[in-house]
Amino acid sequence: MINPIEAGIQNTYPELKTISPIEWPNIGVSEVDKEISDGAYAIRLFYFRQIPLLRQIPYLALEVNGRGIWKNSFSRAYYKGMIDIHESRGYYDMFLELRTGVLLSTNPSPNCNENIPLERFGLNLDDSLYLATDKEIFTKLGHQDKDERFIPTHVIDLMQEMIKRPYHNNPEEVEREIAQKEMAKLGLDRMMKELPEDEVIENLRVQGFEI
């Protein structure tokens, strides 16, 4: 078979027509960015305005755990002061800090400028958590199914029902677990005192949140 290039045959293409350059849709992108920012602000504000309720949840979780079920989510609430609110591919990737209402992520932003220091909120957490960005909040929580949303009043109602359940029937284990809970409560009290509710709310107001 003859190679057309070796045979000197040139491929023919349609004549290219020059047109005016099309500009990047900066205005459209800016409009979407503003919508994302506004939506994320509204979600943050939703939790900030319920800080008094959020701060009850670790104590309820402490009382509930072991009554028919043990859950890591409950333990995390009273040992670390946070609770998971979004799951992706079998892993929790977003948490709510229950003393402050701050949304935390396991994913650092690719733009380091978006990683606002957590010290700004009076938090001292390990390096595996970051302040959730507007884009992540809007993407993961903005259109979340209503049955999956973390609604503080719903969670509190559920926990108050669970408190009515008895512990299991092994007296020795129950005694040991109650003793562990008493120690955990002391730690929880210390965590709460580190970030007094009135100081948290004032800090957020200074940052521009209308609480």
pLDDT of residue 117: 47
Print pLDDT tens along the chain (211 aa).
556 555 555 556 667 677 778 888 888 888 988 999 999 999 999 999 999 999 999 999 999 998 878 889 999 999 999 999 999 888 999 999 999 999 999 887 665 444 444 555 667 666 678 889 999 999 999 999 999 999 999 999 999 999 999 887 788 888 888 899 999 999 999 999 999 999 999 989 988 899 8
CA distance 185 to 72: 16
pLDDT of residue 108: 74
